[in-house]
Structure 1
Amino acid sequence: MRSSLTRRVFAAALLLTASLSPAVALAAQPSDAERKSEQAAPARLLGEKIVPHKLDFLDTTVGGLSGIDRNRCTGEYVFISDDRSNLQPARFYTATLDVDADGVHSVEFTGTRPFLQPDGSVYPSPALADGKAVDPEEIRVDPRTCTYWWAQEGDRPTAAGAPVIQPSIQFAAPTGAHLGRLPLPPNYEVTTEERGPRRNQAIEAITFGSHGRVVTSAIEGPLLQDGPVPDLQHGALVRVTKQTRDGRVLGQFAYPIEKIFAESDPTSPWGPDTGVPSLLAFPDNPDRYLVLERTWVAGAGYKVRLYDATTRGATDVQARESLAGQAVVPMRKKLVADFDTLGLSTVDNTEGMTWGPRLPSGERSLILVSDDNFAEDAVTQIVALAVR
């Protein structure tokens, strides 16, 4: 006879079967009624600030800001740019943000440094890289040492003979000097076979938990062997991995991303793009995360949603070669915010988030940033939310 907990987990797993691709056995995609009944305490908008487009700062072009974190040692915030050394060398920025219960009052950049390779040189542009290019996406400040941990997606080339560039999580000093890297799970490796991360869908999300003892990362989209990407009918599963600071895997879990929210403009050459660009651990709960889901559809624009998710009760899938057709209990999640309902001036390519100051109401502020991709029709938007 199953215990009550086992019955609850089994029932939850059965509840989730309908909305994933047929290639995936189970998915955490509850009905609208179930999602409404399980909704977490909603976030509310405190304010926003738009950074001037292509702001010139210390002979660099500010843009492509795809990650943000707060440095407890300085009180400043650090942003990572996803410029792949096309405009200037791959780099990060520091800034002061004036954020309180009344909104985002100012954003003042205070410094910038390039990330350095182990030999002390900057990263070259992809055209000159010879396999040493990087695609910076996420940055976190080590809560123990205040050094920087940053993630880059690498590259699965589309042209024959082009070099494979592996994704990585690296450590850097505040000067940008290279300090090392975190060993990653084998299934994060880009291979020449139909396994591993898809192109431009590798590591975009890392976070520290358990007071710096645990590093959690997420692959942006489903691994090739785990099934197809989401479509209008089905979501998909992406892998979330907990590791120790020296790289030992503590567990790997399947997080369910939503199906595509609208049809694409049939005249566009670009298909939908969706995935997990950021996740953030709750300081007081080692199993609980805020997870950002960002989707772009040609003709419909961006859909950005924030979820409260947990690994508690989810299947550890680190030994599963493939999730396709496998019965797994995925991470449970509850909707915190749909950005379309927040009252923002625009909903853009939001990719980074971090905790801000605690508010007099007892809520925590959450600071998010959008990646403008250096495009004229996009914005660098700093958003502050209040979260219970």
Structure 2
Amino acid sequence: MRSFLTRRVFATALVLASSLSPVVASAAQPDSGERNSEHAAPARLLGEKIVPHKLDFRDTTVGGFSGIDRNRCTGEYVFISDDRSNLQPARFYTARLDVDAGGVHSVDFTGTHPFLQPDGSVYPSPALADGKAVDPEEIRVDPRTCTYWWAQEGDRPTAAGAPVIQPSIQFAARTGAYLGRLPLPPNYEVTTEERGPRRNQAIEAITFGADGRVVTSAIEGPLLQDGPVPDLQHGALVRVTKQTRNGRVLGQFAYPIEKIFAESDPSSPWGPDTGVPSLLAFPDDPDRYLVLERTWVAGAGYKIRLYDATTRGATDVQAMDSLAGQSVVLMRKKLVADFDTLGLSAVDNTEGMTWGPRLASGERSLILVSDDNFVADAVTQIVAIAVR
């Protein structure tokens, strides 16, 4: 999410939680579920590895990692960079990770390719884009074909006359060649009215479930018509959508994100940011997901939380034009990990996650990556944790 890039200059380095029982809430002012929150089986840290800042790899600048997934066909991991073609053309990287119960032992990059437009050209920088810029945020490996599906959140311009760039989920070959795109639900569209995703809060999260038959995506923050962003007193609702591979909407659900965890430094010109940068389907349960919540507050830094959530029993809200004031059964969730308690060297801008190898203990390993926004006071951090 690019808004963090400028904000890190002003930042000091460094809860609408609900249980897995049905929760009915009004989206006009979602109540905090802290008093009823439950914990899933706790996660534990396996290890971490920091990638050198602005590492040069094949004449590109490594960084801005907003998503990660594992390719079962090659055994490699793929990372998407959220460079909007400002440094080099929008691109992804492949790497081999040595991860086991003892931690993250090595990260060895093996390749990089730019994403290509339908005409075979690379994506231009925003200054030259004429409406064709992209903001890459998430990448997944198709479990059936081992090609890539990637999400970009477009742009709701702030300047008069600037082009609207629609969010999209596209398909790419392992060379980056354009293969197509997934039709998105109408309420994912950025409009010239006060409707649809906020700027920098569109699609940041996609995942495959049900052996690749279902694609689930999440909007990072509440749609404009669904109510305000979280503050110190209240959380908000974001929409999570299940679709078939050809785009048919199977259901859309309201996920409750936490209220802001701390007051902002009053000297900062930037307000807090919070939202869902990634979600990950459980292989054996088509309704169950890990959901990553990431919050940044000036003067307080990052708060990263991981939740175990389900759509089972939640209200299908796809026909609701607005969630504001509506009583709906929310997605239920349990806290898996607050990154402040894991013992990491730093809690940074974690944006991507995928399953790693299963451990001898019966636990699953989870691999996460942070987006350094290409600035010196942030890190590209690859973290491995164990979850039940």
TM-score class normalised by the smaller sequence? over 0.9
Query: CA separation of 1:179/1:11 partners in 2, compared to 1, >3 Å: closer, same or farther?
Result: closer
1:312 corresponds to: 312
Q: CA deviation at 1:39?
A: 1.2
2:236 corresponds to: 236
C-alpha distance in 2 between matches for 1:368 and 1:174: 22
Query: CA separation of 1:301/1:16 partners in 2, compared to 1, >3 Å: closer, same or farther?
Result: closer
C-alpha distance in 2 between matches for 1:160 and 1:181: 29
Matches within 5 A, 1:117-196: 117-196=117-196
3-state SS, counterpart of residue 19 of structure 1 = coil
3-state SS, counterpart of residue 217 of structure 2 = strand
Q: CA deviation at 1:10?
A: 44
Q: CA deviation at 1:28?
A: 13
Q: CA deviation at 1:362?
A: 0.4
Query: CA separation of 1:51/1:123 partners in 2, compared to 1, >3 Å: closer, same or farther?
Result: same
Of residues 169-178 and 31-40 in structure 1, the stretch that sits farther from structure 2 once superposed is: 31-40
C-alpha distance in 1 between matches for 2:44 and 2:174: 33
Q: CA deviation at 1:359?
A: 0.3
C-alpha distance in 2 between matches for 1:374 and 1:10: 15
Q: CA deviation at 1:323?
A: 0.2
* Percent sequence identity over aligned pairs: 91
Corresponding position: 1:27 with 2:9: no
CA contact 2:171–2:180 (8 Å) conserved in 1: yes
Query: CA separation of 1:20/1:266 partners in 2, compared to 1, >3 Å: closer, same or farther?
Result: farther
CA contact 2:20–2:334 (8 Å) conserved in 1: no
Of residues 38-47 and 80-89 in structure 1, the stretch that sits farther from structure 2 once superposed is: 38-47
Q: CA deviation at 1:16?
A: 8.4
CA contact 2:221–2:276 (8 Å) conserved in 1: yes
Query: CA separation of 1:20/1:324 partners in 2, compared to 1, >3 Å: closer, same or farther?
Result: farther
Query: CA separation of 1:383/1:231 partners in 2, compared to 1, >3 Å: closer, same or farther?
Result: same
Any gaps of 5 or more consecutive residues in structure 2?
A: none
C-alpha distance in 1 between matches for 2:24 and 2:105: 46
1:46 corresponds to: 46
Instruction: Provide, for residues 80-115 of structure 1, a one-character-per-residue CA deviation record: whole Å limited to 9, x for no partner.
Output: 000000000000000000000000000000000000
Q: CA deviation at 1:33?
A: 9.1
Query: CA separation of 1:15/1:141 partners in 2, compared to 1, >3 Å: closer, same or farther?
Result: closer
Q: Which has the higher contact order (CA 8 A, sep 6+)?
A: 2
2:110 corresponds to: 110
Query: CA separation of 1:169/1:17 partners in 2, compared to 1, >3 Å: closer, same or farther?
Result: closer
CA contact 1:22–1:325 (8 Å) conserved in 2: no
Q: CA deviation at 1:38?
A: 2.5
CA contact 1:24–1:236 (8 Å) conserved in 2: no
CA contact 1:19–1:233 (8 Å) conserved in 2: no
CA contact 1:98–1:106 (8 Å) conserved in 2: yes
Of residues 19-28 and 118-127 in structure 1, the stretch that sits farther from structure 2 once superposed is: 19-28
3-state SS, counterpart of residue 32 of structure 1 = coil
Any gaps of 5 or more consecutive residues in structure 1?
A: none
CA contact 2:225–2:323 (8 Å) conserved in 1: yes
1:248 corresponds to: 248
C-alpha distance in 2 between matches for 1:78 and 1:179: 18
C-alpha distance in 2 between matches for 1:286 and 1:278: 17
Query: CA separation of 1:237/1:37 partners in 2, compared to 1, >3 Å: closer, same or farther?
Result: closer
C-alpha distance in 2 between matches for 1:90 and 1:173: 15
1:57 corresponds to: 57
CA contact 1:363–1:386 (8 Å) conserved in 2: yes
CA contact 2:99–2:105 (8 Å) conserved in 1: yes
Q: CA deviation at 1:279?
A: 0.0
Instruction: Provide, for residues 166-207 of structure 1, a one-character-per-residue CA deviation record: whole Å limited to 9, x for no partner.
Output: 000000000000000000000000000010000000000000
Q: CA deviation at 1:47?
A: 0.2
Q: CA deviation at 1:20?
A: 17
RMSD: 8.7
Instruction: Provide, for residues 238-269 of structure 1, a one-character-per-residue CA deviation record: whole Å limited to 9, x for no partner.
Output: 00000000000000000000000000000001
Q: Normalization by structure 1: what TM-score?
A: 0.93
Aligned residues: 388
Query: CA separation of 1:14/1:51 partners in 2, compared to 1, >3 Å: closer, same or farther?
Result: closer
